[in-house]
Each structure stands twice: as C-alpha cells, then as structure tokens.
C-alpha cells in the first residue's frame, strides 16, 4: 500500500479537467466482452480499477491497451477461464462480469468481489434478476456459479430496492437474451444511461434508461463501429468542487455535465458558495461566510452517497452545525474517526453525521479505509496546517484520475510514497 503525503495550508487556484466517470468505466469494461468486434473507449480515467479490470480481461484472452485516455479492448478471441481472484477481490465492480459472462456464455463463475468496505451491499437483487432470466445460481465457499444451459429468456424483473449494480447486471445479462425483458424499479444514474448508450450504438435495443422502467429487446449480436466517449465523473467533480470551496482562490472545473450535479451544487449554493455554472464548466470563487446545511443522501437524482464524505471537510468552514444522513449506506463513517485525529469537530451517532465549525485543523497520520473516505481525508489534509500522511492511499488512486498531478497544478503540495518511503511518480 502507498502513502499520500500532503503539506497543507496552500491556497489553491487554477483549472482542472474532470476525467471520465469511474462508475461508468467499471461497467463499460465488462460490457465490452459482449461485443463481437473490438471496441474503443475515450476519456478513460487513469485509475487502479481500470488496470485491475485489464488484468481480468487478460485472464480470458481478451487483449487490451490503455494510453492517453484511450482504452482498446479486443474480445474476439475470448475464452472461458478462471478469473484471477486477487483482481476480483480488489474491486467490487468486478461483479459486472457476472452479467456480461452470463450474457456471452450463458454461465459464469466468480469469487465473491471485494472493494470498498462501506457496510452491507448484498447481491441478492442481482441473483434475483439472473434467476428470473432463466439461470441457476449456487454459492460455495465464497464462489458464485451461475448457469443458464437452456439460454436466457426475456422476463419481468422487479427490483425490491433501487440498486445501480443490480440494474446494470440485469441489462448486461438481458441484452442478448431472447425476447423482451422489463426491469422495474430500476436505478436512474447517468452511468446507467452511459452504458445503455454504448450498447445501443452496437445494436442493442434498450429503452427507458433514466426512468424507473427499462425495456430491453434481446439481440443476437453486438458490433462496435465507433469510439465511445465516457461521460464526465460527477463524483470527481463534486470532490473538486468541495476542495475549491474550502481552500480555493478561484478554481474552474472543465468537462462537467451540470445536470448530473444539481443535487450537490444546490447544497453549495445554499451554503453561500457563489458558483458560476456554464454549459460544461463551473467556476468556484473564493468562498467565505458559509452557512451550515442539512444533507440526506438519496438515489439519483438525489444527493449522491459518494459525495457525503468529500463534502464533510468543507462543512467545517460553515457557521453552525451541519447534519448528514446517509440513507444509502448508513455505516459509511470510516472517515469520521480519522478526521477527528486532525482536530475536526465531527461526530457520527444514531445514523447522523454532525459537523461543527472548526477553526483549526492540524496534520496527522490517518488511514483511507475506502475511496471516498480517502477523498475526505485528502481534502482535510489540504485544509490542515502541517503535514498529513494518508496510509492505504491506493484506495484514493483507485477512484481519482491522475489525482496528484491535478492537485499539484492547483498549487497543492502532494506526493505519493511506497511503504519504504520511496517517492512514486503517479
């Protein structure tokens, strides 16, 4: 595991370009194996999750190459094989290979995926969908076996709870199933629309994405004829908006889809941040005299659970007490104890995160338990006086495109070291 070293206190300014969406990318890469031709993605974020997914592709004899934001994948020589458990366990989104392998080969075997530990995230809705499509599912000692020897057939799938992962896996499995599949109570996230756009451009027949009812007419073949440009990462954007409002003297974010961020930007405006929102950019001026706010995380288009941690350090700049309720992952509080080590007035109790104005934060050694907790600590480290050392910084690198380079261009002082203390160029 690597360490992130931050010398805090620098005022930040300049411009930053947001990369492609991590949560799209980790679904699009497994989706690529459904294609009968090579595929190409543009604006792919340079994050660890992409490289781990490429390792998984290689185990199936799928060639891939990644350079300057362009990812080429050739699944035409794909073979069924045991997937590398280390790569599978390193990121939860590897479970999308369940749907794509089931769609391609009518069977899949995976070890139970790992990734961020942010509380219970069962896959019962995924399994329910696979069974509805005609598959049998068995689990033995952490390994999941899914098989549909008679093929997959269109059906009605009602998700008991709104789940991004289950919605995506249902699409991946159903896109080549015979007949028509209807997914009800589907998630509406922009990343799902991005996935459907990619598949439809290859000949899929998916309608209704962005609503709670998705209709899929199965097709026999999928062929790519153009490059798919991945949508901007709204979570990366929200993270930079938070640090810009907390420590910025004027920062412009480029490659933004403002409509994807309305729940988040409305809260910044409510705080008193005078955002200047353009068609595909947002300017954040120096922000003072901020007001406390209340936040409740909800499925899209509500306030994203992935942004409750990055906004927490900013709330210490506000007068009064701010309250966060995470209805998606109530146990997503790994950052609280770590932030307290830095002097932040923040507590988590009874499902509430309460943040009070904090006049002084100091550097400390803290640990990034998962991606967004790490982002929260990173912002706090930029705000704090002195040096902050974030251990397990690989978790930050899993989710943020060229993060060190981008931060240092804004006048931050950030570097990465390996466990022996040797500086690593990211």
Confidence of residue 239 (pLDDT cuts 50, 70, 90): very high
Residue 74 annotated as binding?
no
Task: Give the residue ranges of DSSP H helices in 299-353.
Answer: 308-315, 334-341
398 annotated ligand-binding residue:
no
Per-residue pLDDT tens over the stretch 388-419: 999 999 999 989 999 999 999 999 999 999 98
Dist. CA 5–CA 387, nearest whole Å: 7
Tell whether residue 306 is among the known ligand binding residues: yes
Which pLDDT score, from 0 to 100, does residue 195 have? 98
Q: Which of 234, 337, 380, 314 is nearest to 324 (CA)?
A: 314
Q: Which of 116, 194, 326, 401 is flagged as catalytic?
A: 116
| 231 labeled part of a ligand binding site | no
What the chain holds in terms of domains, given with CATH numbers, is 3-19+232-424 (3.65.10.10), 22-229 (3.65.10.10)
Quick: pLDDT tens for 293-350: 999 999 999 999 999 999 999 999 999 999 999 999 888 998 999 999 999 999 998 8
For the chain, the maximum distance between any two Cα atoms, rounded to a whole number of angstroms, is: 65
Instruction: Please report, rounded to a whole number, the percentage of residues in the chain having pLDDT higher than 90.
Output: 86
Residue 414: what pLDDT? 98
What's the average model confidence in pLDDT over 274-293?
Answer: 97
Q: Is 326 an active-site residue?
A: no
Q: Is the peptide bond before 301 cis (omega within 30 degrees of 0)?
A: yes
**Residue 101 clears pLDDT 50, i.e. is over it:** yes
**Residue 210: predicted pLDDT:** 97
What is the four-CA torsion angle of 112, 116, 121, 126, rounded to 10 degrees?
-50
User: What is the per-residue pLDDT across 30-86, written as a single tens digit (0 to 9) for each?
Assistant: 999 999 999 999 999 999 899 999 999 999 999 999 999 999 999 999 999 878 777
Is 122 known as a binding-site position? yes
């Amino acid at each position: 595991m690597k360490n992130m070293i931050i010398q805090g206190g620098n005022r930040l300014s300049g411009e930053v370009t947001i990369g492609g969406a991590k949560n799209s990318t980790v679904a699009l890469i497994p989706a690529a194996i459904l294609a009968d031709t090579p595929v190409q993605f543009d604006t792919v974020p340079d994050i660890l999750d992409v490289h781990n997914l490429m390792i998984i592709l290689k185990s199936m004899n799928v060639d891939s190459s990644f350079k300057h934001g362009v990812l080429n994948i050739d699944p035409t020589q794909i073979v069924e094989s045991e997937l590398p458990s280390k790569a599978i366990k390193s990121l939860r989104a590897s479970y999308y290979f369940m749907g794509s392998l089931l769609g391609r080969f009518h069977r899949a075997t995976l070890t139970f995926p790992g990734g961020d530990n942010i509380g219970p995230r069962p896959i019962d809705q995924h399994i329910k969908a696979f069974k509805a499509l005609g598959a049998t599912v068995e689990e033995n000692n952490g390994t999941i076996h899914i098989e549909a020897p008679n093929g997959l057939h269109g059906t009605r799938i009602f998700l008991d709870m709104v789940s991004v992962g289950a919605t995506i896996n249902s699409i991946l499995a159903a896109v080549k199933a015979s007949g028509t599949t209807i997914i009800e109570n589907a998630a509406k996230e922009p990343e799902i629309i991005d996935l459907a756009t990619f598949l439809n451009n290859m000949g899929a027949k998916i309608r209704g994405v962005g609503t709670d009812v998705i209709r899929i007419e199965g097709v026999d073949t999928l062929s790519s004829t153009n490059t798919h440009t991945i949508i901007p990462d709204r979570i990366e954007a929200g993270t930079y908006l938070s640090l810009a409002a907390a420590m910025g003297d004027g920062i412009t974010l480029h490659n933004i889809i403002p409509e994807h961020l309305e729940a988040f930007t409305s809260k910044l405006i409510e705080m008193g941040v005078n955002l200047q929102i353009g068609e595909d950019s947002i300017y954040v001026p120096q922000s003072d005299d901020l007001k406390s706010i209340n936040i409740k995380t909800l499925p899209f288009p509500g306030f994203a659970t992935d942004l409750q941690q990055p906004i927490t350090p900013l709330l210490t700049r506000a007068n009064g007490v701010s309250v966060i309720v995470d209805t998606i992952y109530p146990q997503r509080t790994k950052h609280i104890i770590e932030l307290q080590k830095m002097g932040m007035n923040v507590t988590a109790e009874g499902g509430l995160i309460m943040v009070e104005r904090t006049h002084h934060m100091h550097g400390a050694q803290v640990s990034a338990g998962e991606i967004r907790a790490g982002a929260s600590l990173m912002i706090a480290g930029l705000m704090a006086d002195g040096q902050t050392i974030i251990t397990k910084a690989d978790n930050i690198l899993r989710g943020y495109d060229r993060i060190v380079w981008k931060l240092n261009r804004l006048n931050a002082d950030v570097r990465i070291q390996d466990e022996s203390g040797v500086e690593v160029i990211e």
